[in-house]
Structure 1
């Protein structure tokens, strides 16, 4: 009996130790650095949401869409940038990743009754879903972000029609406007430490919400003119309830304040050993010539003057090809021997851009660098500030006073009641852009030039808006689609002879969510330029421009 009791006691002790060890191991295996959904501080996740959203917008406007809109060209590895050879490689997974984290913060804010967090996350939700539908067309929206629920709808969400997405985000941005209408002291939470845009100021987030509403109403102005008119006039009729961004000091702009690789200006040379990414990105002739024609001082902020200009001089002895006093002098026979026509080079002594979509961009303008090393001394490189990891002008710009004033100039030109004239708003937009780039004192002289003074056309408004969208070129792409301005021509070696109007639906999405993806593709409008691809083409028109005759 004693032996039996000892055995029972021994087993009990062993089990007790086993369970204790298990419990200790479970506790020990909790990662103290990981964010638990139950205990995570929403600001830790919100900070990631806001910074990733900024980097995403900048990546669009500073990289391949800057190539589409002919702000820049690459002189090496240039297929996607110069020629639109995207090959269904543009994925929306990063956009939805931001939205999933944003949803976590919103739901946590509802649980904790944090109206400030709710308002800010609705602004980001509206902006990000707006980008998705702008870029692709129909997309998962009403059933999106529900994958964790394990339902068929969450796993295989429908692609909402583009009109419904735009209407939905406009409603959500109006909700954000209401949530963000209180003074900062009235909220029971703060986002100051997590907010790289406005440092927790709800009034500025409210202005961003309403400014985004203006953006999306204008996006719909060709397709739903009465709806857009009513929306924009309604916002402007009550500025107390619907404040908007009108001053560059209120721009939704994120600085790059650190020198770590993940949070510094993209393509800077501090983290790129041979500076190849910086070097490959050069100015495009289209933007350069548009700005040179207007003596635009912003060009010198964005670009370096050409290092070694070309000078072709018929009075020089035959065979002359010499660099002297910082210039390269050539006799005409040298060009003839290389089968290069005079009109195929640039002799600009200040700024030289690479023409869009040409073959051999790396050797344009008689560059001696034929191996795609991107050392061409005869074209303009980006300004040296873009070598740096940070700086006062290096910002991701989500929406600005410049854009808002151009929107209002266009609305006024349409005859809508927006409290000012088209010319006034046009001038304010340009003044805002000059202030943004540190050139406030030069704006008035610029505006007095004959080819800059307001001529009463939407063409001029959109062309100036396009120039001002430097590093934020995606917005000018969306303007181009609905207006046809600026009047861009695809380069001779682009994969189609027209500017694309959307991204392809990616192959993975079509394979995983086939039925819904194919239905969305069937709603695209095929064009003469999309026949080679089929309906899922970058040249098939999404709903927002179907039937408008724009941009081509």
Structure 2
């Protein structure tokens, strides 16, 4: 019996082995893997675009929006309001570059001009963000660790080298797109422009405008010639329909608008984000039609009442009737009532009240307060209930996707304002007024209020006055949700004249991110070389050279922003 079983087992083994041999190639191939030798660059394109767009929006709607004073937080606020930053890691950006490099190599191998152009444009965009934020960085030796162990600890290139490389790559991308050759493109994989080479060429040239102006104080001759050439070509983003944007899917927290309340039961991420006072004041002062698109009125407005026998009402009023025992209501309740047209107020006696209250319909939080959650006599400090006496962002920003909820990488407004600034420098790019007016119009159209342009552009404070300060203020406003550009413009020009708040460790606005621990600890020699090239300022303090108040090359010698 044992012999019979053994012979049967042996026969079965021979059959199985034979079958495995027949299917050996098939079973050793991972059906979910990507073979580098045969990978389709279409499949890599959306990952690069999505990652870059989301990360850029999260900067411009997050910490950097605090630096640029578009927003302030009244909970978990030190990084946003006070620039209280430790070492900041850039690995996410370099991971994007690795994927992008893979896409570029495959595009070259397949001679896909469109995909090569996309890869060069995204490479420039991502490296631009890195050097803008940190300063010197690995560039010529970056994302080449697979080629040599020595390149696992890459040298840092100077900002000058990086910016020049960005400009060269964008020029090359523009030429590729200029061929109109979209060979190899598969419908559905281009998240920005649906495979349109002309639109991509306008995007690449608009980024060229951005980076020429970025280095205009350090490389004025190159910047002038470059911007004039792009203007002369006429190929750049001119209308809001051409903006480089990415919509959100909204199915999960990972692909939804940041802070979407559908994925935040407590709604704390939305609630803690408040408009900054400087931003609100600029919008209110000119009756800006974008105000109501971006921000919400206060839920409970302060009203001066000299007949009051106490300094402030203890309780709120509903349509003028005091609500005994009710000093506040939750955001959910107030929002529902306000939609019905209910007016909530709270009275105070200006003769008895010892502080200062903002009685405006729209109220922003001043920059860098020590306790921003108490501002404007909030009866509910902390994070459990919203501050009913301060504006929140507009209701659209509670959403997950759709409509205006887009990551914007470059815009027609930005391009027009760059040209307005160039015209003020005397460069041959048309008139400063025409470009300025186009910037204002493009921004209003972006946010759905373009019909109010004619009335708005004629208003005092908006009508062109031939000053750089006015151009930069309107550009600062237009960069809502793109606060990275607002910050980098401020660093370069000192405009608008942003002031650090009382809780900031230094009395001036920060100008860079600190190099992260991964570089300092594991690429020490190269990181130290880059840190030693930073300009120590009187605000660098005990942090040493690797400080958010030390100046990188692009600011050195400019006396900007402070």
What TM-score bracket applies, with the shorter chain setting the length? over 0.9
Shift of 1:19: 8.4
For residue 347 of structure 1, the aligned residue among 315, 339, 359 is 359
Describe the superposition over 1:46-72 as per-residue Cα deviations: whole angstroms up to 9, x where unpaired.
111111111011011000000011111
2:184 and 2:522 map into 1 onto residues whose CA distance is 40
Question: Does 2:232 match 1:234?
Answer: no
Secondary structure class of the residue paired with 1:417: coil
Corresponding residue of 2:500: 490
Corresponding residue of 2:48: 49
> Are residues 23 and 518 of structure 1, via their aligned partners in 2, closer, same or farther at CA, if it must alter by over 3 Å?
farther
Corresponding residue of 2:336: none
For residue 124 of structure 2, the aligned residue among 126, 133, 147 is 126
For residue 241 of structure 2, the aligned residue among 225, 243, 249 is 249
Describe the superposition over 1:493-521 as per-residue Cα deviations: whole angstroms up to 9, x where unpaired.
11221101110001111111100000000
Question: Does 2:306 match 1:314?
Answer: yes
Corresponding residue of 1:63: 62
**TM-score for the superposition, normalised by structure 1:** 0.92
Corresponding residue of 1:203: 198
Secondary structure class of the residue paired with 1:35: coil
Corresponding residue of 1:295: 287
* Aligned residue pairs, count: 531
For residue 177 of structure 1, the aligned residue among 166, 174, 189 is 174
Shift of 1:21: 4.7
2:482 and 2:400 map into 1 onto residues whose CA distance is 18
Shift of 1:330: 1.7
2:310 and 2:55 map into 1 onto residues whose CA distance is 53
> Are residues 237 and 536 of structure 1, via their aligned partners in 2, closer, same or farther at CA, if it must alter by over 3 Å?
same
> Are residues 509 and 314 of structure 1, via their aligned partners in 2, closer, same or farther at CA, if it must alter by over 3 Å?
same
Shift of 1:328: 0.4
> Are residues 192 and 81 of structure 1, via their aligned partners in 2, closer, same or farther at CA, if it must alter by over 3 Å?
same
Describe the superposition over 1:374-427 as per-residue Cα deviations: whole angstroms up to 9, x where unpaired.
511110000000011112111100000000000000001100011x10000000
> Are residues 23 and 302 of structure 1, via their aligned partners in 2, closer, same or farther at CA, if it must alter by over 3 Å?
farther
Shift of 1:237: 2.8
Question: Does 2:475 match 1:465?
Answer: yes
Question: Does 2:412 match 1:401?
Answer: yes
1:293 and 1:61 map into 2 onto residues whose CA distance is 24
Q: Would the aligned equivalents of 1:318 and 1:333 in 2 still touch at CA under 8 Å? A: no
Corresponding residue of 1:382: 393
1:531 and 1:93 map into 2 onto residues whose CA distance is 27
2:142 and 2:217 map into 1 onto residues whose CA distance is 28
Question: Does 2:150 match 1:161?
Answer: no
Instruction: Tell me which stretches of 4 or more aligned residues in structure 1 moved more than 6 Å.
Output: 10-16
2:491 and 2:485 map into 1 onto residues whose CA distance is 10
**TM-score for the superposition, normalised by structure 2:** 0.91
Secondary structure class of the residue paired with 1:95: helix
> Are residues 23 and 263 of structure 1, via their aligned partners in 2, closer, same or farther at CA, if it must alter by over 3 Å?
farther
Secondary structure class of the residue paired with 2:72: strand
> Are residues 536 and 22 of structure 1, via their aligned partners in 2, closer, same or farther at CA, if it must alter by over 3 Å?
farther
Question: Mean Cα displacement is larger for which, 326-335 or 258-267?
Answer: 326-335
| RMSD, aligned α-carbons | 2.2
Corresponding residue of 2:109: 111
> Are residues 489 and 32 of structure 1, via their aligned partners in 2, closer, same or farther at CA, if it must alter by over 3 Å?
same
2:80 and 2:287 map into 1 onto residues whose CA distance is 27
Shift of 1:23: 8.4
Question: Mean Cα displacement is larger for which, 137-146 or 356-365?
Answer: 356-365
1:23 and 1:503 map into 2 onto residues whose CA distance is 58
Describe the superposition over 1:455-504 as per-residue Cα deviations: whole angstroms up to 9, x where unpaired.
11111111110011000000011100110000010001112211011100
> Are residues 475 and 320 of structure 1, via their aligned partners in 2, closer, same or farther at CA, if it must alter by over 3 Å?
closer
Q: Would the aligned equivalents of 1:135 and 1:502 in 2 still touch at CA under 8 Å? A: yes
